[in-house]
A and B are shown apart, each in its own frame.
Chain A
Amino acid sequence: MSIAFATPVIPDHVPENLIRPFPFVFGTITEADPFNEWVPEVHKGPDIFWTPHAYPGGTPAWIVRRTQDLRDLYFDTENFSSKDFSPYSKMIGDTWTNLPVEIDPPKHAMYRAFVNPIFTPKAMAALEEKIRSYAVEYIEAFRAKGECEYMKDFAFEFPIKVFLELMGLPLSLTPQFLEWETGLLHEPDMGKMAAAARSVVDYLRGEIEDRRKNPTGDIISYAVQAQIDGGRKLDDDELVGFCFNLFIGGLDTVSTNMGGQFAHLATHPEDQARLRANPEMIPTAIDEMMRAYAAVTTFRTCTREVEFKGVRMMPGDKVAVCTTLGGRDPEEYDRANDVIIDRKPKHVSFGYGPHLCVGMHLARREMRIAMEEFLARIPAFTLKPGHTLRRHLGMIQPVELPLVWQA
């Protein structure tokens, strides 16, 4: 590991026996298989432990590994605030808050009521054919070649296209958005991360200003016209926070899950064949793979001295909500490390409680269509022989995923 972190200062309230190493360091890359090699090891340890380098930037956090404890944590919004779980606004000296995701109840419900109508199942169903046409376009571009780099040639750009469409932005921005997204989510250098955040915010501010003058039917126009809080409009900080949240939540997470799912299919020919023969099983299989390859870790900040499941936490302590661990808790799931594509698990990979992913219906649709079209158009595929899978940590995502098939 090439990053040097400051020596951690261990607070007095952290008992020595709960200080543990935790290999999932944001911004690093590993050749290990974090899901099958690291997660089972973590599950042999204490239910909750403290580790020095879990939060972006290499600062400490508590790790909660049990699914049920995570569910309780998601609901305990009084002791555990979502405010400032991501570092971006502060690191560029701004005052906006990602919303609704970093707003606590009860105010949260007001923002959620404003965002919900955009992402209802019905609204997303209307996008079905558009999403499918984007997927087909990417797949057809590499089908005859007998190989693709799944992340670069499909997974990264596909959700960006859908997002640009929803936001009313030109599709030609796809490479620019990908560069910013990588800077925000996979960049260990805080300076470069801040520069990416600055660029995104400056760009969004310009678009918001434009839609104020020239409203269209897109999401930014909806936001500048919406009324909340008994009739007022959203202010500048609220609009930036809303748009930035869509940017950070809607792009890389879908790419990441697509990567996890196709890494599985490439290495498990029996599951691949079963889904190719029975495409109606795809939605169920996707939920099982979302459980087993859960990629997202969010954070909460402790608001007051609290004893959570027997562990004393103090105000300001960060708590990692690591769905990667929650998806493979052996006390929650039988054979937790096996992918059983018809399992139909109740997972926390979209979160749980009031902050459950607002874009869940869009994300499921994108992942389903990507898998349906890929399996219908590409014959049996494998990982390119000799390739060692490397993954980003933080958001656990294949760096590259080279796939080959008989063209």
Chain B
Amino acid sequence: MARITFVALDGSAKSYDAAEGVSLMRCAVDNDVPGIVAECGGACACATCQVLIAPDWLDRLPVAGPNEASMIDEDSGERGMVRRLSCQIEVTPELDGLVVHVPSSQY
């Protein structure tokens, strides 16, 4: 179990307990976090579950695979954070306290 905080575009934050092994995308969608679309259902195919994560968390996340990397523009970071596909990040105990920001657009 890890406590994950989602920050909406308007700055409002909500936190949820996510079970280990569940993806950040699933946690967001199950809790109706606005702005996380996840059109393909979590198969690394649509790039509509993008989130922004602060750089100091990156070493605790799995490295983006080639398929994920092929869908994210290198210069698409926002507010000093990097974009990732939330379906490709499984919750681990190490991610307890992670803060995830919803990007300005999925498209």
Q: Are B107 and A121 in contact (CB under 8 A)?
A: yes
Residue A387 CB within 8 A of the other chain: no
Known: A353-B45, A356-B46, A361-B107. A113 touches B40 (CB 8 A): no
Known: A354-B40, A356-B40. A109 touches B46 (CB 8 A): no
Residue A203 CB within 8 A of the other chain: no
Q: Are A352 and B40 in contact (CB under 8 A)?
A: yes
Q: Which residues of A contact B46 (CB under 8 A)?
A: 356, 360
Q: Which residues of B contact A354 (CB under 8 A)?
A: 40, 43-45
Residue A355 CB within 8 A of the other chain: yes
Q: Mark B67-88, 1 if CB is under 8 A from A, else 0.
A: 1011101001000000000000
Q: How far is the CA of A20 from the CA of B70 in the complex (A)?
A: 44
The residues in B between 19 and 74 inclusive whose CB is less than 8 angstroms from any CB of A are: 39-41, 43-47, 65-67, 69-71, 73
Q: Which of B39, B43, B44, B76 contacts A75 (CB 8 A)?
A: B43
Residue A71 CB within 8 A of the other chain: yes
Q: Are A112 and B70 in contact (CB under 8 A)?
A: yes
Q: Which residues of A contact B65 (CB under 8 A)?
A: 109
How many A-B contacts at CB < 8 Å in the complex?
A: 59
Q: Mark A112-151, 1 if CB is under 8 A from B, else 0.
A: 1110110011100000000000000000000000000000
Q: Which of the listed residues B43, B65, B71, B107 has the most CB atoms from chain A within 10 Å of its own CB?
A: B43
Q: Which residues of B contact A358 (CB under 8 A)?
A: 45
Residue A350 CB within 8 A of the other chain: yes
Q: Which of A116, A117, A353, A361 contacts B40 (CB 8 A)?
A: A353
Q: Are B43 and A353 in contact (CB under 8 A)?
A: yes
Q: How far is the CA of A96 from the CA of B23 in the complex (A)?
A: 36
Q: Are A71 and B41 in contact (CB under 8 A)?
A: yes
Q: Are B39 and A350 in contact (CB under 8 A)?
A: yes
Taking residues whose C-beta sits less than 8 angstroms from the other chain, chain B's interface range is 10 to 19
Q: Are A109 and B44 in contact (CB under 8 A)?
A: yes
Q: Which of the listed residues B40, B66, B73, B105 has the most CB atoms from chain A within 10 Å of its own CB?
A: B40
The residues in A between 312 and 371 inclusive whose CB is less than 8 angstroms from any CB of B are: 346, 350-356, 358, 360-361, 364
CB nearest neighbor in B for A354: B43
Q: How far is the CA of A110 from the CA of B47 in the complex (A)?
A: 16
A125 to chain B, nearest CB (A): 9
CB nearest neighbor in A for B37: A346
Q: Are A120 and B71 in contact (CB under 8 A)?
A: yes
Q: Mark A148-167, 1 if CB is under 8 A from B, else 0.
A: 00000000000000000000
Q: Mark A66-88, 1 if CB is under 8 A from B, else 0.
A: 00000100110000000000000
Q: How far is the CA of A378 from the CA of B43 in the complex (A)?
A: 41
Q: Are A356 and B43 in contact (CB under 8 A)?
A: yes
Q: Which residues of A contact B43 (CB under 8 A)?
A: 75, 352-354, 356
CB nearest neighbor in A for B105: A121
B36 to chain A, nearest CB (A): 12
Q: Which residues of B contact A121 (CB under 8 A)?
A: 47, 105, 107
Q: Are B66 and A109 in contact (CB under 8 A)?
A: yes
Q: Which residues of B contact A109 (CB under 8 A)?
A: 44, 65-67
The residues in A between 89 and 123 inclusive whose CB is less than 8 angstroms from any CB of B are: 109-110, 112-114, 116-117, 120-122
- 11 more contacts with CB within 8 A, not counting A116-B47, A352-B43, A361-B107, are A75-B43, A110-B67, A113-B66, A113-B69, A113-B70, A120-B47, A120-B73, A353-B43, A354-B43, A358-B45, A360-B46
By Cβ-Cβ distance, the 7 closest A-B pairs, closest first, are A356-B40, A116-B70, A354-B43, A356-B45, A113-B70, A113-B66, A113-B67
List A residues at the B interface (Cβ < 8 Å).
71, 74-75, 109-110, 112-114, 116-117, 120-122, 346, 350-356, 358, 360-361, 364
13 A-B residue pairs with Cβ-Cβ distance under 8 Å, sorted by A, are A71-B41, A109-B67, A110-B67, A112-B45, A113-B67, A116-B70, A117-B70, A121-B107, A352-B39, A352-B40, A353-B43, A355-B45, A356-B45
